[in-house]
Amino acid sequence: MRPRAKAVSLYFSHSTVLYAVDRADEEGLVLADGNVRKLIEDASFPNQWPTKETHIQHKVLYKNGVSKEYGVHGTAVGVDFDICIADGICITVCPVNVFDRLELPGEQEKMDKGVTNDSGKAPLANWKADPAREQDCIFCRACEIQCPVQAIKITEP
């Protein structure tokens, strides 16, 4: 199990949305309002997760009871789009350029109008870090280690 980040108060601000994070522990990312965002800690990931669709050159996996709206993009480099806050650190630290910014159509409009998703939260950003070239990953884990919300899971084949 990888080490967990511990924090008393972290604030992630994207557009008009501000999330206060109380802590990250074995339950997942615990927000100040008490809601928990689960991490990709399911032992069955990625091999036993159903494929929702194929996007570019990777699968989009979605598991009922775990995934929310977007699912997990990629298998070797799995990015949980429901947790990703689109801060771009994974794009910056990746030495082999695995990630691309993937614009999410309609998300900016939702953010501007304050529309919430099925979990009652407004979108954090109008883009996500997409592992478009996950086949190029060298498994250095820089992205996984640096992700402040632990939305990335590296699974070596």
Provide the pLDDT for residue 52: 77
The answer to whether residue 121 sits within a structural domain is yes
Provide the pLDDT for residue 104: 82
Q: What is the CATH number of the domain that holds 88?
A: 3.30.70.20
pLDDT in tens, the chain (157 residues): 444 444 333 344 333 333 444 554 445 555 556 655 555 666 666 777 777 778 777 777 777 666 567 778 888 899 988 888 888 999 999 999 999 998 887 766 766 676 665 555 555 678 899 999 999 999 999 998 888 888 898 988 8
Report CA-CA distances (Å) from 87 to 25, 61, 68, 128.
21, 22, 20, 9
The answer to whether residue 80 sits within a structural domain is yes
Neighbours of 2 (CB within 10 A): 12
Provide the pLDDT for residue 30: 56
Q: How far apart are CA 65 and CA 134, in angstroms?
A: 26
Name the residue among 72, 54, 47 with its Cα closest to residue 62.
72
Provide the pLDDT for residue 84: 86
Total domain count for the chain? Answer: 1
The answer to whether residue 136 sits within a structural domain is yes
Q: For the segment 19-62, what is each residue's pLDDT rounded down to a tens digit?
A: 444 554 445 555 556 655 555 666 666 777 777 778 777 777 77
Provide the pLDDT for residue 50: 72
The answer to whether residue 15 sits within a structural domain is no
Provide the pLDDT for residue 115: 63
The answer to whether residue 71 sits within a structural domain is yes
Provide the pLDDT for residue 8: 34
Range of the domain at 135: 39-154
